[in-house]
Amino acid sequence: MFGLVLICLAVFSAATYGLARRKVLQAAHGSGTRPHSRPKYHGAHAALWAAIPALLVLVGLAVAAPRIITAVTWADLPAAAPSVEPFRSQFQYDAEAIAAGSIPSAVAYSADQRAALAAHADRISALSGMLRLGGLVAVGLAALMGGLYAWSRARPDYRARNAVERWVGGLLFATSAIAVLTTLGIVLSLVWESLRFFQTVSPLEFLTGTHWSPQIAIRADQVGSSGGFGAVPLFVGTFLIMGIAMLTAAPIGLMAAIYLAEYASAFQRAWIKPLLEVLAGIPTVVYGFFAALTVGPAFRAGFNRLGEYLLGGPLNDLGLYLMGVQNQMALVAGVVMGIMLIPFVSSLSDDIINAVPQSLRDGSYAMGATQSETIKRVVLPAALPGVAGAMLLAASRAIGETMIVTMAAGLQARITANPLDSVTTVTVQIVTLLTGDQEFDSPKTLSAFGLGLTLFVVTLILNIVALRIVQHYREQYD
Partner 1 sequence: MDAPVIDTRPIVAAGPKAPAHGIKVRTRDVSVFYGDKQALSDVSLDMADRAVTALIGPSGCGKSTFLRCLNRMNDTIQGARVEGVIELDGEDVNARAVDPVALRARVGMVFQRPNPFPKSIFENVAYGPRIHGLTTSKSELQDVVEQALRRAGLWDEVADRLDQSGSSLSGGQQQRLVIARAIAVDPEVILMDEPCSALDPIATARIEELIDELRQQYCIVIVTHSMAQAARVSQQTAFFHMGQIVEIGRTDELFTNPKEQRTLDYITGRFG
Partner 2 sequence: MTDRPDIRAAVERRLKRRHAAERRFRLYGVLAITVAVAFLALLLGRIIEQGHSAFVTHSITLDVPVDAARVDPAYPQGANYDQMAAEALLVRLGVDANTADNGRAVRDLLSPDMGFQILAQVRADPSLIGRTVTIEAPVGDSADLYFKGEISRDTPEEQRVLTDQQIGWLDQLERQGLVEAHFNTGLFTRSDSTQPEMAGLLGAVVGSALMLMVTALLSIPVGVLAAVYLEEFAPKNRLTEIIEVNINNLAAVPSIVYGLLGLAVFIGWMGLPRSSPLVGGIVLSLMAMPTVIIATRAALKAVPQSIRDAALALGASRTQTVFAHVLPLAMPGVMTGSIISMAHALGETAPLLMIGMVSFVPGVPEGILSASSALPTQIFIWENAAEAAFHERTAAAILVLLVFMVVMNAVAIVLRRRLERRW
Residues 267-306 that bind partner 2 (CB under 8 A): 272, 275-276, 278-279, 281-290, 292-294
In this structure, the number of other CB atoms found within 10 A of the CB of residue 64 comes to 13
Q: Where are the alpha helices (DSSP H) in 201-323?
A: 203-208, 232-258, 266-281, 284-290, 296-310, 316-323
Q: Which is nearer to partner 1, 86 or 381 (CB)?
A: 381
Of 7-15, 46-54, 146-154, 425-433, which part binds partner 2 (CB under 8 A)? 425-433
Q: How far is the CB of 316 from partner 2 (least distance, A)?
A: 29
2 binds, among partner 1, partner 2, none (CB under 5 to 8 A by kind): none
Residue 104 binds partner 2, judged by CB under 8 A: no
Q: How far apart are CA 395 and CA 401, in angstroms?
A: 10
The set of residues, in sequence order, having a beta carbon less than 8 Å from that of 231 and lying 6+ positions away, is 206, 207, 209, 212, 426, 450, 451, 454
Q: Enumerate residues 234-273 that contact partner 2 by CB under 8 A.
A: 251-256, 258-260, 262-263, 272
Q: Which is nearer to partner 2, 249 or 322 (CB)?
A: 249
Residue 322 binds partner 2, judged by CB under 8 A: no
Q: How far apart are CA 197 and CA 11, in angstroms?
A: 49
Q: Which is nearer to partner 2, 130 or 171 (CB)?
A: 171
Residue 460 binds partner 2, judged by CB under 8 A: yes
Q: How far is the CB of 50 from partner 2 (least distance, A)?
A: 20
Q: ∠85-88-90 over CA atoms, to 5°?
A: 100
Binding site for partner 1 (CB under 8 A): 265-266, 357, 359-370, 373, 377-378, 381-382
Q: Are 281 and 296 in contact (CB under 8 A)?
A: no
Q: Which is nearer to partner 1, 367 or 457 (CB)?
A: 367
Residue of 177, 270, 367, 384 interacting with partner 2 (CB under 8 A): 177
In angstroms, what CA-CA distances link 239 with 55, 233, 245?
A: 48, 10, 10
Residue 59 binds partner 2, judged by CB under 8 A: no
Query: Which has the closest alpha carbon to 104: 96, 89, 113, 94?
Result: 94
Q: Which is nearer to partner 1, 279 or 369 (CB)?
A: 369
In angstroms, what CA-CA distances link 465 with 183, 386, 458, 461, 469?
A: 18, 11, 11, 6, 6
Q: Are 260 and 254 in contact (CB under 8 A)?
A: no
Q: How far apart are CA 44 and CA 46, in angstroms?
A: 5
Q: Which is nearer to partner 2, 110 or 251 (CB)?
A: 251
Q: Which is nearer to partner 2, 83 or 438 (CB)?
A: 438
Q: How far is the CB of 113 from partner 2 (least distance, A)?
A: 25
Residue 171 binds partner 2, judged by CB under 8 A: yes
Q: How far is the CB of 237 from partner 2 (least distance, A)?
A: 15
Q: Enumerate residues 105-164 that contact partner 2 by CB under 8 A.
A: 161
Helix (H, G, I), strand (E, B) or coil at 328: coil
Residue of 92, 364, 422, 427 interacting with partner 2 (CB under 8 A): 427
366 bridge partner residues: none
Q: Which is nearer to partner 2, 93 or 321 (CB)?
A: 93
Residue 173 binds partner 2, judged by CB under 8 A: yes
Q: Are 262 and 353 in contact (CB under 8 A)?
A: yes
Residue 435 binds partner 2, judged by CB under 8 A: yes
